[in-house]
Structure 1
Amino acid sequence: MSQRPQSHDRALSSRFHFWNTLSWSVLGLLPTAIAVLDADETKKYWSLGLLTLIACCYAVVMTVPRNPILRPEVYLVVLALFLGALSYLLEGAAAFYVVSLPQFWVFARSPRAAIILSGIAATAAVSGSTLRQGWSPQLLTGNVVFTVIAYAAGIALGLWLHRFVGQSNERTEQLTSELEEAQRKLVEAYRAQGATAERERIAREIHDTLAQGFASIVVLAEAARSSLAEAPDTCGQQLESIAQTARENFAEARVLVGSAPQGGVVPGSVATTLRRTLDRFVQDTGLTVTAALEDIECDHTARIALLRCTQESLANVRKHAGAATVGVVLARQPYGIELEITDDGRGFLVEESHGFGLVGMSKRLAELDGDLTVTSSPGDGTRVLATIPMSSQD
């Protein structure tokens, strides 16, 4: 998770080294080389040789930073000696010292090492010009004074930059730590959200399958007990329905625990599936059901959603409506698939109903970009309209 800050730091370091190399070459090496071209032969060749040597050393340190011989600290000592020799040849090297100052703070291991090594370089530069010209009061001006001032200014600026960079690094580490913590919490939140969604899905499946099946078994068992003495044939039929419902619940339970293929729906068209459900409903309740089921092709997820909506609506009719007639219409409309279930029961106030079944139906359809509309009022029956848009079936 911290790769981005590290790569950002490497990019900044690379840009800094590029500009430092460019400025050192353009403002240090090149002007000095041009300046000695008109000098006498000895001074010119020695100066150009020293410039070439220090440039090669710098190139080695930059391109092979971990070489066992010319380590950065060794290079800084060589640079200090070079400044002393160049100052001796040219009677001063204050300008080259100023341009080279950043290298002491870049390559040294610590601010203390940078101060010591840049001080050695300043001493070498002053000593070189002093040996060349000899001691005199005039040495307190010009290159010597400029070198001393540059050394002092370099210390002040270097310490300030070191502190600034240190604070920036601490802030970066803090932000990185906060980012990692936020990402960890986000992952935990996604995991918790996924677990919650899975619990809701399982609860919805249990309600729409096992709970409805057990409710049917209870109703059929009570009816069978009532008709045991008076209508043995009817009782036998009800017991068979109980057995069939129990088998279906067992199959649905295997689906929920993952030991059977998902869906729990027998293959076939959605119309065939709904017709089978309606036949069982008529057999168990004795209510009149009128059905107009168009043979519609749809995917497995849509089939399950339409079946569960039908099962939940019929269960509500059985438990709450007190209806005599139920109507079911399945049709393809220009905008998609439409399933309408109506009854002539007692009705209810939709705005006061917060049952899990209606919420579950609405969520199932919402997962397919569909919609559920429930229309009812006391004494006027109920109309449930489920729609699935055509786009979800393309």
Structure 2
Amino acid sequence: MSDHEINKTRSFIKMLAPTANFDSVLSFYYDETNNIRKSYVGEMGFNSPVTANFVLGGLVHEGMAPDVAPLIKSFKLQKTTKEVKFKHIAKGSFLDCLKSNKLKLFLEFIESSNLYVHYSSINILYWAIVDIVDSAIANSEASQKLGPPFSEYLKDVLYKLSKLEIDSITEVFYYFKYPNIKKKDVSSFIEALTHIFKDYIDTEEFHFGLESLRQILKEAKKTNSLPFIMEGDDYIIEDFSEFYLRQIYLFKYSTHTFDNENSISRILNGYKILDKSIEIKNYSFVDSQTNQLIQLSDVFVGLMGKLTVYFNTSTKEKIDNDFCSLSMIQRANIDLLVDVIEKSHNKNIGFLHSIDGNEERSKMDVISQPLKTTQNIDL
């Protein structure tokens, strides 16, 4: 990546998130969950459950790192345990994980120390469909004038429909080798996609969004062009290396320590990341057994992965009902998680990055009034 590309992208993100501080000198530690390497569509559907977000994140601090040995000792793990993993701290569904006293110790430590949390959370299904909306809007001057809120609304509507009609959506994707639609197939792809709308387009929930998208896609048919889904590889939605790269060049004055991930390491080694003609060498891959902060990053990321599955598979009404019957330890842990995320948001909004629909994001409001003012950078 050239210095022009890096600084252009950083400037664009800074414009979208003017209160974020990407220039601090920080130490980031990473682990990931639900890392499927590449997201692709096969004959039987997506290569992984679309209910689980890919989450890359962990712990971050400024200055000296706190001594986490007392925390790890407090977990009272078996002496044969070589490193702390999320499975040692909590197990089961998200709500089951909240029953863990070890999780409470972990979250209390983060809350009271100079450690913060950071994450990139990628909803795979939402990520797969957003380029359809962007491609349609690229063909419509009227839609472009309505700005990002209109675009985000259409993406959310298409995402909700895709959840309900996941088999039909993936069948269309596979048939047309999405996201590499051939020019001769644009019209047929649009017809197949909008055919899925028919059972929903007259409902109150979906009517305005689906009808708007259907009309915009009609304009795309006239040009035989859906620009953002015509130049990819057959079936391959994308790999996740871009989210590792994003952290490296966005927080270019910080250091980034990743858990060993050979496939990602090979990809990153293929890039020469330049800033003012100087190569950026601010990251490393290490064995997690040698780094306790990476081990604790696995705990946080594991919990966030469970949370995304819970949100992606639960209605707001179900979440509300679930949270009315939490035990004391569950309530304490969810409050601590909310406090830790809010503490990190207040420190630097740039720590929180999400590619997800408003439908899923808004579920955090159900479990936490304070987080109604918390934002995630969506880029």
Q: TM-score, normalised by structure 1?
A: 0.17
Q: From the two aligned structures, give the one with the greater helix fraction.
A: 1
Q: Which has the higher contact order (CA 8 A, sep 6+)?
A: 2
Q: TM-score, normalised by structure 2?
A: 0.18
Q: Which has the larger radius of gyration?
A: 1
